[in-house]
Chain A
Amino acid sequence: MVKAKADKVRSVTKFNRLTPRKTATVFAVFLWQQISYPLSMTEKTFSPLLDKLIQSLRCLPGVGQRSAQRMAFYLLEENQRKRGLTLAETLSEALHAIKHCDLCQTYTEESRCKICASTSRDPHLLCVVESPADVMAIEQTHSYRGRYHVLMGHLSPLDGIGPEQLGVDKLFNRFKEETIEEVILATNPTVEGEATAHYIASQCKHLPVKITRLAHGVPMGGELEYIDGNTLMHALKARETL
């Protein structure tokens, strides 16, 4: 009788004994409660509209719960409301009106973007880039006076983006309709960008067009020591005679 009781006590103590694993689990649960408690509280303390605003702001890249909350509160401050309203109106107007340029596919609210409509641009030169940001980058050099074609992406078979999805035929139509003498393939120096450039080049071979590709090399003002081997290798291969 006594022995049975002792056994029972032992088994109970065995059950209750805190192993390192158990302590860690308890600690983790405690930590989780500490973290999740304020989160769940915030969800409930905000009014539905404010919550909707915060959640909508989170669609921007690099904006999480915290930043979205800060932005929402900032816009709701008395002296910022006017600016906030301007932002809202511009946002709505821009998202409805801005479409792709008929010729180069970059973003514009007109049928032709400024560069395509300009008469001072060389119509014989065409630079093919991946995104409107790349157009800006090349424009900032002030050394290119031709026109652009924005692909809005690159070929990536693994992500299901082939020539049809990219709309390369719009580019090929331009070769037929315009008098282009040189195509500069300025896609990114990644494998996908390279593949896109090679694809376009192979499709244009039969056309009387000069096809060039942007050079890969060392950045200006950099130190050779800190350049990655791959870039340096390309720079070595494409070296120039002085």
Chain B
Amino acid sequence: MTTKTNRFNEQAAFVLHSRPYRESSAIIDCFTREHGRVSVIAKGCRRQKSTMRGLLQPFLPLLLSYQGQRELKTLTDCEARGFSYTLRDVNLFSAMYINELLLLLLHKEEPFVGLFDVYESVLATLARAEATSPEGALREFEKVLLESLGYGIDWQYDYKTDQLLEKDARYYYQPGFGFTRLEAGSSLLNHPQSFSGEAIASIAASDWHEDMLPQA
């Protein structure tokens, strides 16, 4: 058996979730920039004197070094890359929701560089916008997440007729296919999945108006 140790040094990462393991260790799910979602085991990080304990917290930009060839890596070093994003109230819950999305949707060790950068900027927005509603940032993140996962939505064309979407028409969104035009008097006009062409255009342009948000 040849021993091949895979070392990963100083990877930009965020902790998504951690769960206690044995007496003093923890298994940590993190989202790294270069390698996507990775599970690492942080040995002794729950000991009283461990300096990692304060660092291995979600929403703190980290540089992680870990090694191992199996799915579960061993954390060797960890340091802060910047200041922790201080999140309060709704913004904290929103950030936890984003972490949950990432934890459930991302495949392990599949890199999503663009998504990582968007994640960081969303956290920054959430930390900055103290009182404002976090919805805009969340919808933007969900859009990018869908696109990165390969479930991007075609914002420009009707999937049945291949015609450009028009601003003053109403469209129905068929999951897995796309938008299709609704004729006047259609029973689906008031369906939660029907949108105006204008709303679709502004979603596509990432222009999150206050009045558009409930429609998205």
Interface residues of A (CB under 8 A from B): 20-21, 24-25, 28, 61-62, 157-159, 190-191, 194-195, 198-199, 201-202, 226-231, 233, 237
**In the complex the two chains form, is B59's CB within 8 Å of A24's CB?**
no
* Known pairs A158-B17, A191-B58, A228-B55; A198 contacts B103 (CB<8 A): no
Instruction: Tell me if B51 is interfacial: C-beta within 8 Å of chain A.
Output: yes
**In the complex the two chains form, is B2's CB within 8 Å of A21's CB?**
yes
**In the complex the two chains form, is A228's CB within 8 Å of B51's CB?**
yes
Q: Closest residue to B81 on the A side, CB-wise? A: A229
User: Given the complex, which residues of A lie within 8 Å of B55, measured CB to CB?
Assistant: 228-230
Q: Closest residue to A63 on the B side, CB-wise? A: B23
The B10-61 residues at the A interface (CB cut-off 8 A) are: 17, 19, 22-23, 51-55, 57-60
**In the complex the two chains form, is B2's CB within 8 Å of A191's CB?**
no
Interface residues of B (CB under 8 A from A): 1-2, 17, 19, 22-23, 51-55, 57-60, 80, 83-84, 86, 88-89, 92-93, 96-97, 99-100, 103
**In the complex the two chains form, is B93's CB within 8 Å of A230's CB?**
no
| Of B22, B54, B92, the contact of A195 (CB 8 Å cutoff) | B92
Alpha-carbon gap, A137 to B89, bound state (A): 27
**In the complex the two chains form, is A198's CB within 8 Å of B84's CB?**
no
User: Given the complex, which residues of B lie within 8 Å of A24, measured CB to CB?
Assistant: 1
**In the complex the two chains form, is B54's CB within 8 Å of A228's CB?**
yes
Alpha-carbon gap, A102 to B96, bound state (A): 32
Residue contacts A-B, CB under 8 angstroms, 16 given: A61-B23, A62-B22, A158-B17, A158-B96, A191-B58, A198-B89, A198-B93, A202-B89, A226-B51, A228-B53, A229-B54, A229-B83, A230-B54, A230-B55, A230-B60, A231-B54
**In the complex the two chains form, is A20's CB within 8 Å of B57's CB?**
no
**In the complex the two chains form, is A198's CB within 8 Å of B1's CB?**
no
User: Given the complex, which residues of A lie within 8 Å of B88, measured CB to CB?
Assistant: 198
**In the complex the two chains form, is B96's CB within 8 Å of A195's CB?**
yes
* Known pairs A25-B1, A158-B99, A202-B89; A229 contacts B80 (CB<8 A): yes
Alpha-carbon gap, A241 to B99, bound state (A): 37
Q: Closest residue to B54 on the A side, CB-wise? A: A228
Q: Closest residue to B51 on the A side, CB-wise? A: A228
User: Given the complex, which residues of A lie within 8 Å of B93, measured CB to CB?
Assistant: 195, 198-199
User: Given the complex, which residues of B lie within 8 Å of A61, measured CB to CB?
Assistant: 23
User: Given the complex, which residues of B lie within 8 Å of A21, measured CB to CB?
Assistant: 1-2
> What's the least CB distance linking A157 to chain B, in Å?
6
> What's the least CB distance linking A141 to chain B, in Å?
17
**In the complex the two chains form, is B2's CB within 8 Å of A190's CB?**
no
Alpha-carbon gap, A233 to B22, bound state (A): 30
